[in-house]
Amino acid sequence: AQTVTQSQPEMSVQEAETVTLSCTYDTSESDYYLFWYKQPPSRQMILVIRQEAYKQQNATENRFSVNFQKAAKSFSLKISDSQLGDAAMYFCAYRSAYINNDMRFGAGTRLTVKP
Amino acid sequence: DAGITQSPRYKITETGRQVTLMCHQTWSHSYMFWYRQDLGHGLRLIYYSAAADITDKGEVPDGYVVSRSKTENFPLTLESATRSQTSVYFCASSVGVGGLSEQFFGPGTRLTVL
């Protein structure tokens, strides 16, 4: 089964600075989809950004962007101009293109934003 | 504009008791999911449903039962709760299930089994 690893249990960033959260995954599949979800203190998971494996161009959503390195099986999330509202748990997730219900989540990274 | 709701938000029960967690969505999404969230594990899929009366097991289904008689509701039942089922439970729904389809999550239910 595919596994998703987030090697940084906690990260902190100064307000207005940039931070990168790491995510690696293990798969033998050639086609798949990757996601970053945010879980604020309210607990409700919110989709931040998503990427198709066969697309070389890195996805971008406003201040959020990814660095997708398919050969390295890496999918890091960059948050630019960090804001206090970015403080949350961030989960990386992998979805197989072959087994639709199979979505695997990493253990999460807790991001603290310092004013 | 309720979206997806879960009840109760918090529940304390005792070992051996039956408990049901409720999930309701107002979007008429076909797919619904139940996950559990434990420290160090992220979210793990318990069960999912493709439509009313169609359900299937996920990664960690043991000890859980689901039903889906109506599109909007997807209750999760712990028939005989165990301490290992202490967790935060999330319900989610989506229009589709594959590709880049987004899952929309409820606020979660924190369940404690004493």
Query: How much is the pLDDT for A97?
Result: 86
Mean pLDDT of chain A: 93
* CA of A18 vs chain B CAs: smallest distance (Å): 24
Q: pLDDT tens digit string along A73-91?
A: 999 999 999 999 999 999 9
Report residue A93's pLDDT band, with 50, 70 and 90 as the boundaries.
very high
Q: Identify the three-state secondary structure at position A38.
A: strand
> What local confidence, expressed as pLDDT, does residue A39 receive?
94
The pLDDT of residue B1: 57
Record: contact B103-A101, CB cut-off 8 A: no
* Segment A46-50 mean pLDDT: 95
Beta strands in B1-114 (DSSP E): 4-7, 10-13, 19-25, 31-38, 42-51, 54-57, 64-66, 76-78, 87-94, 104-105, 109-113
Mutate: best of B43, B47, B94, B103, partner A, most A CBs <10 A: B43
CB contact under 8 A, B108 and A108: no
CATH value at residue A9: 2.60.40.10
For chain B, domains (ranges, CATH) are 4-100 (2.60.40.10)
Q: Which domain holds residue A51?
A: 3-114
How many angstroms separate the CA atoms of B32 and B104, rounded?
9
Look at phi and psi of residue B63 and say left if phi exceeds 0, alpha if psi is from -120 to 50, else beta.
left
- C-alpha distances out from residue B29 to B19, B72, B92, B111, Å: 25, 8, 10, 26
Q: Give pLDDT, residue B6.
A: 96
A1 pLDDT above the threshold of 90: no
How high is the pLDDT of residue B86? 97
> How many folded domains does chain A comprise?
1
CB-count burial class (<10 Å; 0-12, 13-18, 19+) for B4: buried
Residue ranges of chain B with per-residue pLDDT less than 70: 1-2
The reported pLDDT for the residue numbered B23 is: 97
